[in-house]
């Protein structure tokens, strides 16, 4: 079996790059699959995310040139972005793939595809297998009469061959692990820091992530200077550093705009590491609440103190429970098995 794997696998760390790399590594272990990788990552650093440039046109032409090597018998597995310039780039890529082969699968890691399916392109999507990652997406896309498959995210267990250590500090440590922007919650970090200081709450906020604009950089530097309990460390550049940082904390702090995220991979990484998730309401956050491994923050964060006090009394007891929740619900082997089934057989 020959598979053209068309995904972003380089550039700055983000959720799509993380899961793309893990999927690619898993598929390459299968001796029956011949992988042809086409890297679609265009952003060289955090400043390039979501921004158009003429160099991206040149890059797209190089990608298209490589796509013409696809044969009719080949399968294509393509990351598809329904937002911004990347949507038009991926639409062109999808068109070329269908010109070369009948077996094309796209994987959607963001909301909004339903708004981009129009009269002029619906026929193209009707020929495409579409993988989505939460039930809300599935319901919307399936209602359009498209071939849709629900495959919730999973990640391989980092601690299979490495020991898991839990944070031993008496003080509660929160880790914010995300690119830093308005939609990702930078202004909620500001508000939360003010609340923690006003209420005299004993905890630490450890902030990791790449900064996407100068305004956000100015704010995070000011917060880092003003609050002794808040530290900004910058982006984490590799997996080992990320999981080392997770093990030094007790809970994940997730502050993105309500329902902005589709299915955050950092949820899974936190559960894997035994960290309870303190999150704004997201499409999949209720799943974690049902498993008693998450607390949902109000949009204005006014319930943080109550949830913090509840968690601080039980943080040691709940860590192994959180870890077991990951092991029970996020089998990466099963995930890859289902992905192969969809991609090669539909």
- Same-domain status, 105 and 219: no
Looking up tokens 């995310």 gives: 49
User: Do 101 and 35 sit in the same domain of this protein?
Assistant: yes
Q: Is the same domain home to 323 and 336?
A: no
Torsion sign across C-alpha atoms 290, 13, 103, 338: negative
pLDDT tens track for 229-270: 999 999 998 899 999 999 999 999 999 999 999 999 999 999
pTM (predicted TM-score): 0.91
Share of the chain above pLDDT 90, in %: 83
Shared-domain flag, residues 175 and 65 = no
Nearest to 307 by CA among 289, 333, 330, 286: 289
User: Rounded distance, CA 304 to CA 311, Å?
Assistant: 10
Burial class (CB in 10 A: 0-12, 13-18, 19+), 148: buried
Q: Angle at Cα 155 formed by Cα 152 and Cα 158, nearest 5°? A: 160
* Same domain as 173, residue 114: no
Q: Are 202 and 175 part of one and the same domain?
A: yes
Task: For residue 159, give the DSSP letter.
Answer: G
Beta-strand ranges (E) seen in 146-212 are: 147-150, 172-177, 203-208
Q: E strands of the chain, at which residues?
A: 2-7, 34-39, 75-80, 103-108, 129-132, 147-150, 172-177, 203-208, 230-234, 251-254, 276-280, 294-297
Q: Are residues 238 and 185 in the same domain?
A: yes
pLDDT in the model for residue 83 = 87
**Residue 45 confidence (pLDDT) above 60:** no
What does the alpha-carbon distance between residue 273 and residue 157 come to, in Å, rounded to a whole number? 9
Please state the rounded mean pLDDT for residues 181-199: 96
Read off the tokens for 115: 């708004």
Distant-in-sequence, close-in-space partners of 309: CB < 8 Å, separation ≥ 6: none
Same domain, 212 and 262: yes
Are 10 and 129 contained in the same domain? yes
Spatial separation of the C-alpha atoms in residues 172 and 289, rounded to whole Å: 20
In the block, tokens 């709940």 appear at 318
If asked whether residues 77 and 41 sit together in one domain, one would say: yes
What would the mean pLDDT of 213-223 be, rounded to a whole number?
Answer: 93
- Indicate whether 192 and 128 sit together in one domain: no
Kindly report the CATH number assigned to the domain that includes residue 273.
3.40.50.2000
Residues 187 and 304 in one domain: yes
Range of the domain at 175: 158-329
Q: For 127-162, how does the pLDDT look when each residue is reduced to its tens digit (9 = 90+)?
A: 999 999 999 999 999 999 999 999 999 999 999 989
Across-strand partners of 289?
none
CATH number at residue 21: 3.40.50
Domains contained in the chain, number: 2
- pLDDT, averaged across the chain: 92
């Amino acid at each position: 079996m020959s598979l053209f794997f068309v995904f972003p696998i380089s550039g700055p760390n983000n959720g799509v790059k993380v899961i793309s790399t893990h999927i690619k590594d898993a598929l390459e272990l299968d001796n029956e699959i011949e992988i042809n990788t086409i890297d679609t990552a265009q952003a060289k650093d955090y400043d390039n995310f979501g921004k158009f440039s003429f160099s991206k046109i040149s890059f797209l032409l190089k990608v298209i040139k490589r796509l013409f090597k696809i044969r009719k018998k080949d399968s294509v597995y393509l990351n598809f972005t329904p937002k911004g310039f990347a949507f038009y780039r991926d639409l062109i890529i999808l068109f070329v793939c269908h010109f070369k082969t009948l077996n094309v699968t796209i994987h959607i890691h963001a909301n909004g595809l339903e708004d981009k399916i129009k009269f002029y392109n619906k026929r193209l999507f009707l020929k495409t297998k579409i993988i989505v990652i939460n039930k809300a997406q599935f319901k919307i896309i399936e209602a359009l009469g498209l071939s849709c498959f629900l495959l919730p995210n999973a990640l391989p267990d980092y601690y299979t061959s490495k020991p898991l250590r839990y944070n031993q500090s008496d003080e509660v440590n929160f880790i914010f692990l995300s690119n830093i922007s308005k939609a990702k919650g930078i202004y909620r970090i500001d508000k939360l820091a003010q609340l923690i200081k006003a209420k005299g709450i004993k905890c630490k906020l450890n902030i990791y992530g790449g900064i996407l604009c100068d305004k956000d950089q100015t704010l995070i530097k000011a917060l880092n200077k003003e609050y002794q309990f808040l530290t900004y460390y910058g982006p984490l550049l590799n997996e080992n550093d990320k999981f080392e940082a997770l093990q030094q904390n007790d809970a994940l702090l997730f502050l993105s705009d309500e329902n902005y995220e589709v299915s955050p991979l950092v949820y899974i990484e936190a559960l894997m590491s035994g960290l309870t998730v303190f999150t704004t309401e997201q499409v999949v956050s209720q799943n974690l609440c049902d498993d008693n491994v998450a607390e949902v923050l109000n949009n204005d964060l006014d319930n943080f103190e109550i949830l913090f006090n509840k968690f601080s009394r039980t943080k040691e007891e709940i860590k192994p429970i959180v870890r077991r929740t990951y092991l029970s619900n996020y089998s990466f082997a099963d995930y890859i098995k289902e992905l192969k089934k969809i991609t090669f057989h539909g």
